[in-house]
Structures are given as structure tokens and as C-alpha cells.
A = this chain, B = another copy of it.
Amino acid sequence: MTPDAATLTYDAARDRPAEECGVFGVRGADDAAVLTALGLHSLQHRGQEACGVVAHDGARFHIERHLGLVGDNFAGQGAAERLPGRTAIGHVRYSTQGAPVLRNVQPLYADVRGAGVAVAHNGNLTNARLLREELVSDGAIFQSTSDTEVILQLAARSARQKPTNRLIEALKQIEGAFALVALVNDKLIAARDPLGIRPLVMGDLDGATVFASETCALDMIGACFVREIEPGEAVIASADGLQSQRFAPVRASRPCAFEYIYFARPDSVIGGRSVYETRKNMGRILAHERPTPADVVVPVPDSGVPAALGYAEASGLPFEMGLIRGHFVGRTFIQPTQAMRDIGVRRKHSANAAALKGKRVLLIDDSIVRGTTSRKIVRMVRDAGAAEVHFRSACPPITHPDFYGIDMPLRSELIASSMDPAAIAETLEADSLAFLSLDGLYQAIAGEPRNPQNPQLADHYFTGEYPTRLMDHGLAQSDKERQLSLLVDA
């Protein structure tokens, strides 16, 4: 997906950045497609718009892609029969460009010379558009507008003889952030971008090799964690065992800070750190950085809960579930119409007056993006009888958009890009507002302050320092739209 288009599809209703994708792959286990579906189910928080699975039965490929949730499409008994084989990969994704269309749903598959190749990736290529233009000039026909297909087309045109080498050669040409799983005939390949921006882990299930975006997917199927895929590394699982191949020089990884702040499941472990613990740390440090007289600490559920627990622990204030999250709302968000989203926005949370009435409420959310949802929540809490409402963000002010696979609004819509905390507090109608500091965030995640020469995280959201070149970024929006396809998706 191209960066600017991404901004158009930011999930305004949720007012939360939306990760594009989760990936999963397994080789060497019976009913690989069912394991893949279970793994994807545990990664469903990374994308609810569409899902797909490709299985290889030893000789041929089987593919199934759907709009909608994994549980609704792959949970029945039929999946094993429809997608036979001991090797499979899968993908969940969040809606991106306009109406979600099936031809863009991953994994993408292509017959290339001497092999079938299927690819699923999480992230965003920052030179996909330039590569695409070169390929089209050279006679390539694209069947989708997904940047994943660029990888397939590059592999198809590679002069290398061995099919896996063609895929590796393609990886060398792309830039950006990506955590990728692929099938090249019966070989399963996992590859991670040169900086390790997007997460990707390897596991073992009774001898079968498993790859997944997060460790929670390993837990789901009972697989053991083995290690993370290294930045710039491709791991190839084949009949000959595991083989590691580098397609970029060795560098320290620079994982995306937002995985810790919001995206990853709290029970996942990224870079050796418990996501839950890093979030509690954010709350603890925030309590120390910004002590505030209050009667109760109330999280915006569910993502604000760990930070609020950390804050309550550090501050000694009581923790209360002053906001209730409807169990059945999740589904509503994935509906593409604005009308549906509006209902979703208003209906996701409800105030629990019993915990709020007459109290000075310290409200903690993981982050503030546009501020629209935060304003609604502040009002809801006040309407329920709170005496004061103090809003706290468990991460620093978000001032810059992402170009690595995360849906975010245009910079101009990021409330912290143009307002200081006092102005934001006024806009949110909160009695006070404060953010975790950047060093506080680093302390919470890495246990040390930010290294300005060599930042330990991808933190462009807060700093504007993008970890890679942004090749496609100069192309004007209108030009790009015209060129991607002349076909209007139904």
C-alpha cells in the first residue's frame, strides 16, 4: 500500500492506528491449513477486514481468500479438506484502499517459471510504486494493486535458476518494512526487513517449523518459541531442514514502538520483552513523571488497561473499570460504511456510573491520535457524574504519520502535530492532559534512554525520524492513483 492512500483509510471510527496485517506459516505438520487458521485467529487483532490461506499438498497449491474474519471463514471442519497439505501460509489484513476487494487479499499466488509462489506480507514497501512502474514498462501485467505483487513480479523476472533464489533476489530490491512468509513450491520462507521494523518469530511444533507475526500465535497452537527472524534474514524451511540466508547486511534491529504501545497482544513477547510488562511500565513511569491528585485510575479498555494498572500500582490510587467495553462491538468496526462506523464509535464503550460518580477520574489511554474518540470518552465520563477528568496518554505526542504499514491520518489530522497539551486538554474538555515522555517510553520498553545516534526503536511517530528512505513519497497522489490501475473495483 502506498503511504498517502493509507492515510485515506485510517480507521477514523476507532481513532486508533490500524495495523495492516498479520502473517503465519507452518511446514511439516498435518492439517497445516487448520493450524494456519488457528494462528491467524490469534492474530486477528492485527487485521479484521480480510483473510486468506494457501496450502501446498506436496504437488499443487490450494488457495482460499475471504473478506471477513478467520473464524467465520476457516473455522469449520471443511478447511482441512479444501486446503490439504502439510505446508501452508496465511494472512489477515485491515482494509486499506477504498472498498476492500478480493483481488488484493493476500496471500497472492503466481505461477512463475518452474514453481508456484505464494506470498503474504505485513508492512509496507517504500519503493513499491517505482518498482511497479518499471515492471509495467517492461510488459508485466499486475493482477492487483497490492505492493505484495511487486515481490512476485520481481521473482518471476529474476534470472536466477533456483526458484527460492529468485525470491531472495526480489527481497534485495524492495525497501521499507516487511515481515513476509512465502511458499515456493513446498518450501516455506520467512523474511524480515533489514531493520526488523515489523515483528516476525519462529517456533517449533513437534518438529514442524512455524513462523508468525507474534508469539501469541505460537501459544495458540502449542508451539514453542525458537527465536526471532533477524533483520535482513530469510529463513528457508525445506525437506533439507532450516537454512538461513541474508539478503541485507547485519544491523541492530529497530522494532516499531507502536507494537509495544498498541498493536501487539499483551501476552506476546517482542524482542525478549513482555508487551504487557512494557505497557505497565509506561503507566508506572507516567505516574512518576506526572503525579496527579485523583480518586480513581480508569483505563480506556482494553488497550489502556495495563498502563492503568501500572499507574495505579505506582501511584497507590485505586483502579476501577469505569468504562465498559461491549463484547460484540468488535464486529461492527469492520463494516465499511460510514454509517456503521458511526454506530461503532458511539457504541464501543459505555460509562459505569457506579465507579465514576463524584470521583476525580484519572483516565488512561494508550495514545491519542486525532482526539475525536478521546473527546467523546471524556464527555461520557463526565456525564456519568465524574467530578474531574484528567486524561493521560501512555505514549508521547504523535506528530508524524507512519509509512510502514500502519494506517494513520494525515499529519494535519494528528492532534498533537499542531496543539500543545494545554490546547489538547481544552479540545478534549479534560481538566488536565499529559503524555508520557519520549525517554519515559524508551525506559518502559528498552530500560534505557533513547540513543539519539542510533535509536533503539522505530519512533518516527514522535520524532519524525524515519528509519528508511521514502522513495515513493514524492509522487503526487493523483498521478499515483491514475497509474495503479484503470480498473474500477466493483
Find the B residue at minimum CB distance from A48: B328
Determine if A137 and B116 form an interchain contact, defined as CB atoms under 8 angstroms apart.
no
Determine if A309 and B305 form an interchain contact, defined as CB atoms under 8 angstroms apart.
no
A473 within 8 A of B: no
Partner of A141, one of B141, B306, B347, B351: B141
Partner of A63, one of B220, B319, B487: B487
A153 within 8 A of B: yes
Determine if A328 and B328 form an interchain contact, defined as CB atoms under 8 angstroms apart.
no
CA distance A279 to B328 in the complex (A): 22
Find the B residue at minimum CB distance from A330: B327
Find the B residue at minimum CB distance from A313: B318
Find the B residue at minimum CB distance from A327: B330
Determine if A82 and B490 form an interchain contact, defined as CB atoms under 8 angstroms apart.
yes
Determine if A111 and B42 form an interchain contact, defined as CB atoms under 8 angstroms apart.
no
A416 within 8 A of B: no
- 1/0 per residue A254-292: CB within 8 Å of B? 000000000001110100001011000000000000000
Name the distance in Å between A416's Cβ and chain B's nearest Cβ: 27
- 1/0 per residue A321-353: CB within 8 Å of B? 100101111111001010110010001001111
Partner of A140, one of B70, B141, B347, B352: B141
A130 within 8 A of B: no
Determine if B313 and A274 form an interchain contact, defined as CB atoms under 8 angstroms apart.
no
Interface residues of A in 27-75 (CB under 8 A from B): 38, 41-42, 44-45, 48, 59-64, 69-72, 75
Find the B residue at minimum CB distance from A72: B331
Find the B residue at minimum CB distance from A139: B157
Determine if A60 and B111 form an interchain contact, defined as CB atoms under 8 angstroms apart.
no
Determine if A76 and B306 form an interchain contact, defined as CB atoms under 8 angstroms apart.
no
A355 within 8 A of B: yes
Interface of A is mostly: mixed
Determine if A330 and B332 form an interchain contact, defined as CB atoms under 8 angstroms apart.
no
Determine if A321 and B309 form an interchain contact, defined as CB atoms under 8 angstroms apart.
yes
Find the B residue at minimum CB distance from A109: B487
Determine if A354 and B277 form an interchain contact, defined as CB atoms under 8 angstroms apart.
yes
Known contacts A71-B329, A153-B141, A327-B45: does B485 contact A219 (CB below 8 Å)? no
Q: Which residues of B contact A337 (CB under 8 A)?
A: 76-77
Q: Which residues of B contact A329 (CB under 8 A)?
A: 71
Known contacts A109-B487, A339-B76: does B347 contact A38 (CB below 8 Å)? yes
- 1/0 per residue A478-490: CB within 8 Å of B? 0000001111101
Known contacts A45-B327, A328-B71, A490-B63: does B142 contact A220 (CB below 8 Å)? no
A245 within 8 A of B: no
Find the B residue at minimum CB distance from A277: B354
Known contacts A319-B309, A328-B44: does B157 contact A136 (CB below 8 Å)? no
Determine if A41 and B347 form an interchain contact, defined as CB atoms under 8 angstroms apart.
yes
A470 within 8 A of B: no
Determine if A266 and B45 form an interchain contact, defined as CB atoms under 8 angstroms apart.
no
A320 within 8 A of B: yes
Determine if A353 and B115 form an interchain contact, defined as CB atoms under 8 angstroms apart.
no
Q: Which residues of B contact A389 (CB under 8 A)?
A: none
CA distance A219 to B486 in the complex (A): 33
Q: Which residues of B contact A343 (CB under 8 A)?
A: 38, 41, 71, 75
CA distance A347 to B217 in the complex (A): 11
Determine if B140 and A139 form an interchain contact, defined as CB atoms under 8 angstroms apart.
yes
Partner of A355, one of B75, B112, B113, B276: B276
A468 within 8 A of B: no
A156 within 8 A of B: yes
CA distance A351 to B330 in the complex (A): 21
Find the B residue at minimum CB distance from A333: B71
Determine if A69 and B328 form an interchain contact, defined as CB atoms under 8 angstroms apart.
yes
Determine if B335 and A306 form an interchain contact, defined as CB atoms under 8 angstroms apart.
no
A143 within 8 A of B: yes
CA distance A137 to B113 in the complex (A): 6
A216 within 8 A of B: yes
A420 within 8 A of B: no
Q: Which 8 residue pairs of A and B lie closest in terms of their CB atoms, listed nearest first?
A: A274-B354, A116-B486, A139-B157, A267-B352, A44-B328, A143-B143, A110-B141, A139-B156
Listed by A's residue number, 23 A-B pairs whose Cβ atoms lie within 8 Å are A38-B343, A44-B326, A44-B327, A59-B486, A60-B487, A61-B486, A63-B490, A71-B343, A76-B335, A109-B487, A110-B141, A111-B484, A112-B141, A113-B136, A116-B487, A266-B321, A267-B353, A274-B353, A276-B321, A276-B352, A319-B319, A327-B330, A330-B330
Taking A113-B136, A139-B158, A266-B352 as known contacts, 5 extra A-B pairs with beta carbons closer than 8 A to each other, sorted by chain A number, are A69-B331, A111-B486, A111-B487, A274-B352, A276-B321
